Chains A and B, each alone.
Chain A
Amino acid sequence: MENFLQQLLNGLSLGGIYALIALGYTMVYGVLKLINFAHGDLFTIGAYVGFTLLVSVGITDSVDPMAALIIMGATVMLFVATLGVGLERAAYRPLRHSPRLSAVVSALGASIFFQNAVMLIYGARFHVYPQGLFTKSTLSLFGLYLPLVKVFVLMVSLVVMTLLYFFIQKTLTGAAIRAVAIDHNAARLVGINVDKVVTIVFVVGPALGGLAGLMVGLLYGQITFTMGWLYGLKAFTAAILGGIGNIPGAMLGGIILGIIESMASAYLSIAWKDAVTFVVLILILTIRPTGILGERIAEKV
């Protein structure tokens, strides 16, 4: 039982990370109907920017840990969001009215570009986040040993997701994003600046992805330039699992996927854990072809 709860926490914190990345996929998909394959690499860049701040800048020497975390989070989000906006301008906007699969190839090309840029700057080997920010501290709750970093990651992702949910559902900008997701032309007719909405989406999505990268660095300690593709693929799976384009769906999908993965590696086999996630995905899609929360879109005749 205790082991089970421990695994549940592992799954929840991993799931929170997946959910944050999945939100980037699902928001971009919502407004552009494009799978942003470069999103996983923006996530990697987030992890590396955090690494630079911790190791090269030595941010923890000058300020106390809590302030350091906030500064790191803000810098990473700002930096990755800038890259995201640039990516959309350079690689996706010229292809907005082209066949959809052409934009996918452009996204794959951007992904290769980012991945190799990170490799050229930081080298091909693993990098290790300095431990000491969190490692020693644990929380004791109901006789359970809870590493503080996992609780922290889970808390941050939950708070960020709640904020995002209210941003999308309750603000005027959120309403504009939802309108553009439904119909570009109709949105334009009621006076929404579609390009501006797309830019906002490419600020929010990559910022969340970059934050997730920073949290992976803090949580697992080890980062590499290729990690973006596996996390990206898992998060994309999560987005599809919940129903792509659907924001609560991405959150739910991420959490479910994280739990499945940590349970599979604990109780089945670590070597097969990735295969288990995909088998579950295929089974769920066989029963619900548009994901768990995806609405059944009526086909036009």
Chain B
Amino acid sequence: MKRPVSFNPLWVFFIVIFALPPLLDPYWVDVLNNVGLYAILGISLNLIVGHTGLFNLGHAAFYAIGAYTSAILNTKYHMPILSILPLSGFTAGLFAFMVMRPIIHLRGDYLCIVTIGVGEIVRIALVNNIFGITGGSNGIFGIARPELFGYVIRSPHQFFYLIWIFLIITVVVFKRLEHSRVGRAFNCIRDDEIAAQGCGINVASYKLTAFVIGATWAGMTGNIFATKMTIISPESFSFWESVIMFTIVILGGAGSIEGTIIGAFLIIGLPEIFRDLSSARMLVFGLAMVIMMILRPRGLIPPKLRSYNVRSILERDYSV
């Protein structure tokens, strides 16, 4: 049986984007880099909010754990920054597991306030220089630039390729996940938790899995953020960051990877375009959020419903 090959305009979009940097000045390339980072964060949060239907407004905490793990290991123990990438993800994932395990059964808005609380606790702990290793409100500076095959990545143009290649890997991984048994289980939990339970899905365990995968990915993004900035401080991981990630997911279309990428362009790009309005730009930004939600309540690109070719399933040869 052949799988139907569907063409996704997303890949054309990626080819166009990859041709752009040589034409742009470093400032706009850096904007694109931020868009890429937030798109990755958005996709990782999308798994939790969009696919599993869990209300998470504290994603910045996992992002922070990843970034600080990288920064501490790099500046104190001089480990090459990109080699810590898996470890940053692991630490963030482990943190998510330990924190969320006792409270994963909370429903809807109760879970929301707890994730906000976790985000705030992490931020306050970082500001208060917990264990004497986070550098308090000044943060950590002097994080090394990444080195790939003896080639040091420095300029925004070089970072562009690092970030966007990571974004493509993210898209591929999360697309596969979305269409796997696990992905279907997540969706089932989102649509009807009791029905999911009835189908034999271990709801608590899958919810926790969604959190751990999302957090792991945010942790790895934290690593790239740390090396891009070379300096990190608790300010970069405030509640506001979580709000931005959440808005990207919902505005783009909860449950849709394409939508999340468009959402990242709008949320990171719009304030840049409104730059001329100077101090009024956030006012316009807030208004734009309300208007966009009213015009497209399901997001800019709502996820497509799953479709299966019934005939091919019926005609499948089940004989052993």
Q: A101-B55, A282-B103 are in contact. Are A109 and B254 (CB under 8 A)?
A: no
Main secondary structure on B side of the interface with A = helix
Binary per-residue interface labels of chain B (37-78) against chain A in the complex, 1 for a CB within 8 Å, 0 otherwise = 000000000000100000100000000000000000000000
Interface positions of A from 79 to 126, Cβ below 8 Å from B: 90-91, 94-95, 98-99, 101-106, 108-117, 119-120
Is the CB–CB distance between A106 and B289 below 8 Å? yes
Tell me if A134 is interfacial: C-beta within 8 Å of chain B.
no
Contacts of B155 in A (CB 8 A): none
Contact of B290 among A113, A120, A236, A289 (CB under 8 A): A113
B276 to chain A, nearest CB (A): 15
* Chain B residues closer than 8 Å to A165, beta-carbon distance: none
Closest partner residue, chain B, to A299 (CB atom): B194
B282 touches A112 (CB 8 A): yes
A119 to B283 Cα, complex, angstroms: 9
Digit string of A270-281 for contact with B (CB within 8 Å is 1, else 0)?
011011001101
Asked if B288 CB lies within 8 Å of chain A CBs, one says: yes
Q: Known contacts being A105-B247, A278-B120, is A91 close to B110, with CB within 8 Å?
A: no
* A237 surroundings in chain B (CB, below 8 A): 113, 117
Nearest chain A CB to B237 CB, angstrom units: 14
Q: A35 at interface (Cβ–Cβ under 8 A)?
A: yes
B239 CB-CB contact with A under 8 Å: yes
- The answer, yes or no, to whether A256 is at the interface (CB within 8 Å) is no
The answer to whether A106 touches B102, judged by C-beta atoms less than 8 angstroms apart, is: no
Bound state CA distance, A54 and B49, in angstroms? 45
94-135 of chain B: CB within 8 A of chain A = 102-103, 105-107, 109-110, 112-114, 116-118, 120-121, 124-125, 127-128
- Nearest to A104 among chain B residues (CB) is B250
Chain B contact-residue range equals 35 or more
B250 touches A105 (CB 8 A): yes
Residues of A within 8 A of B286 (CB): 109-116
Main DSSP-derived SS at the A contact region: helix
Whether A101 pairs with B121 at a CB distance below 8 angstroms is: no
Structural contact, A95 and B293, CB atoms closer than 8 A: yes
The answer to whether B125 and A275 have CB atoms under 8 Å apart is: yes
Give the residues in chain B near A117, CB-CB below 8 Å: 283
Known: A109-B287, A282-B117, A290-B110. A272 touches B124 (CB 8 A): yes
Distance between A168 CB and nearest chain B CB, rounded to angstroms? 21
Whole-angstrom CA separation of A244 from B298 in the bound complex: 26
Contacts of B125 in A (CB 8 A): 275
Interface size, A (range): 35 or more
A301 within 8 A of B: yes
Contacts of A106 in B (CB 8 A): 289-290, 293-294
Q: Which residues of B contact A275 (CB under 8 A)?
A: 120-121, 124-125
Q: With CB as the reference atom, state the residue of chain A lying closest to B302.
A: A99
Using CB atoms, name the residue of chain A closest to B113. A240
CB distance from A40 to the nearest CB of B (A): 11
Whether A278 contacts B117 by the Cβ 8 Å rule is: yes
Interface assignment of B246: CB less than 8 Å from any CB of chain A: yes
> Nearest chain-A residue to B294 (Cβ)?
A94
Write out the residue numbers on chain A whose beta carbons fall within 8 Å of the beta carbon of B250: 101-102, 104-105
Residue B319 at the chain A interface, CB threshold 8 Å: no
Chain B CB within 8 A of A213 CB = no
Q: Are A101 and B103 in contact (CB under 8 A)?
A: no
Give the residues in chain A near B109, CB-CB below 8 Å.
Answer: 29, 35, 240, 244
Distance in Å: Cβ of B86 to nearest Cβ of chain A: 29
A56 within 8 A of B: no
Bound Cα distance from A109 to B285, whole angstroms: 8
CB-based contact A272/B128 at 8 Å: yes
Within 8 A of A (CB), among B280-315: 280, 282-283, 285-290, 293-294, 297-299
Most B Cβ at <10 Å: residue of A108, A120, A233, A271: A108
Chain A residue numbers with a CB within 8 Å of B194 are 299-301
Whether A233 touches B107, Cβ cut-off 8 Å, given contacts A109-B289, A279-B121, is no
A242 to B280, CA, bound (A): 38
Q: State the A residues within 8 Å of B (CB).
A: 29, 35, 90-91, 94-95, 98-99, 101-106, 108-117, 119-120, 229, 233, 236-237, 240, 244, 271-272, 274-275, 278-279, 281-282, 285-286, 289-291, 299-301
> Which chain B residues have a beta carbon within 8 Å of chain A's beta carbons?
49, 55, 102-103, 105-107, 109-110, 112-114, 116-118, 120-121, 124-125, 127-128, 194, 239, 243, 246-247, 250-251, 254, 279-280, 282-283, 285-290, 293-294, 297-299
Q: A95-B294, A109-B287 are in contact. List 6 more A-B contacts (CB 8 A).
A: A101-B55, A109-B286, A109-B288, A282-B117, A299-B194, A301-B194
Residue contacts A-B, CB under 8 angstroms, 18 given: A94-B297, A95-B294, A95-B297, A99-B297, A102-B297, A104-B246, A104-B250, A108-B246, A110-B290, A116-B279, A116-B283, A117-B283, A240-B110, A240-B113, A271-B124, A285-B114, A289-B106, A289-B107
The 9 A-B residue pairs with the shortest CB-CB distance in the complex, in nearest-first order: A109-B289, A112-B286, A113-B286, A98-B297, A278-B117, A116-B283, A109-B290, A275-B124, A106-B293
